[in-house]
Structure 1
Amino acid sequence: MRYPDGSSEEQDEIFETEQEAENYGLEQCSNYSLGGEVLHMSNPGDYPLEDEDADFEIVEING
């Protein structure tokens, strides 16, 4: 996951298909956006809405 502030984190999940991995990445991005909206609604002064969304990259592991 890559976040708008430039930080990133690596997920350890392993999927059988690329479609499963893509669905997971899209769900995580959606969760990030929803969480930001909830924080903004609870205290807009401390938690402004992000202009950009989180993004993800799928990495294929051969082994």
Structure 2
Amino acid sequence: MRRNPFVEAGLSAEIFDEQAVLRALMDLLYDEPTHRALADRRADYLRALALLPSAADAVRAALRRPQS
């Protein structure tokens, strides 16, 4: 899941790595720099989504492609 903009909009930790999970939870709850960084990542993700064509436009474009 590397380089996945959706995943990059949040924090992740291996579920069986108890220390990493606790550290991520504490950062989510109490760390202001983490809050700001995640807000920036969410904004980046939403900007990237806004650049995508709508589902209807994507279907129309696929239907217009010449058949091979």
* TM-based fold match above 0.5: no
TM-score (norm 1): 0.38
| Structure with higher RCO (Cα < 8 A, 6+ apart) | 1
Which is helix-richer, 1 or 2?
A: 2
Higher Cα radius of gyration: 2
Normalised to the residue count of structure 2, the TM-score between the two structures is: 0.36
